[in-house]
Structure 1
């Protein structure tokens, strides 16, 4: 008998399982080819030249072109920031916590950084609290965040830039669920039998399903696991 009260996939013999897997593989391969075609179209996008923005970094003001470091390509994640909130967006906090080893990206002549509308001192304090290892910059004194789709007290965004000498060009942008392709978490969760277990997903009858976001790690949980002992940026216990 089953040791769980949850619904389970049907049990079949190995040949039947392989037949079903082969049928699914046809669709998976078609999706892979479509993603290849989308990436090819993305590489053919035009670009727009950006002004010479100045942001705030740990070592003081920094020009947009200097965010590239020694690389010609740059990915910028705009982290949501709500003024006065001890814990910032858990989705942004969880997404960016996944990126701790970026050498592989740098081998492709690219850098990946975070920008936020929060004041720099608060942003860096939050970074330490949640144990984030990426490089953060503040756009609080610049229109840069608003100009790339992440105004104050609003949403998140991903933007990609290309540098040609001292000139910087915006080449791609996404937000919302468009960021999922950059996350390894959902790629892993989506191959699990129960998937994300969220109510909006098409799942078999009896599959565990809960409200959207309810299984996402909270900012407090991320801080407790990776940061400075689960303390909020003000130093109070969570």
Structure 2
């Protein structure tokens, strides 16, 4: 089947010239990201209280969530009480992370923290096939203090541990989390991209409302989870 909208067809030489023009911008963006990362490494930090979260084996101090490492990335997963299926964006985002052991080579760990009660959080984790380590801040102000209060949005926070003292070094939310995802990076390589209304695409390119192509939490569970009878 022929697509309704196609990029212009040119000879190989013209194609290479267009690619070279784009490559120059891509390389400049890479250098800018390097500079941003360098500035991030120079950010000051702020000391955190001695929070107590809940994990698979009960209460745990924030300093112990590091698992013996000195660096910690936390994804604050949105949670809505009484809902069978939680935020599809958070559910789909965290479903990507199945092999995080490489962070151990960098003295780091990546975990999920949610406002949901720990028993419900673990039930949801199993149902959706999530493989990350989960913790609950339902009985702690930790989530509120790092930009993810009850009923609020998602966030990413990074922490550094010096002995038993924990410092907050970085925070982002919204589209700032895209840099952690491989899904958008791959989709953005495609000729038609994300196919969402807000994107700058040529006339005639397929378009759909924002988020309409995102899969539901139920679909994530169907793809990656153990099934409803597990």
Please classify the TM superposition score into its range, dividing by the shorter chain length: over 0.9
Q: CA deviation at 1:91?
A: 0.3
Q: CA deviation at 1:5?
A: 4.4
Match of 1:102 in 2: 100
Structure 2 SS opposite 1:214: coil
- From 8, 20, 24, the counterpart of 1:22: 20
Q: Distance in 2 between matches of 1:30 and 1:154?
A: 36
1:142 aligns with 2:140: yes
Q: CA deviation at 1:105?
A: 1.7
Q: Distance in 2 between matches of 1:90 and 1:172?
A: 25
After TM superposition, the structure 1 = structure 2 runs for residues 145-224 of structure 1, keeping only pairs within 5 Å, are: 145-224=143-222
Runs of 5+ consecutive residues of structure 2 not aligned to the other structure? none
Match of 2:68 in 1: 70
Q: Distance in 1 between matches of 2:73 and 2:3?
A: 45
Structure 2 SS opposite 1:168: strand
Q: How many pairs were matched up?
A: 229
Q: CA deviation at 1:17?
A: 0.3
Q: Distance in 1 between matches of 2:207 and 2:59?
A: 47
Q: Distance in 2 between matches of 1:33 and 1:5?
A: 36
Please list every run of at least 4 consecutive aligned residues from structure 1 whose deviation after the TM superposition is greater than 3 angstroms: none
After TM superposition, the structure 1 = structure 2 runs for residues 32-47 of structure 1, keeping only pairs within 5 Å, are: 32-47=30-45
Q: CA deviation at 1:163?
A: 0.4
Match of 1:127 in 2: 125
Q: Distance in 1 between matches of 2:124 and 2:217?
A: 10
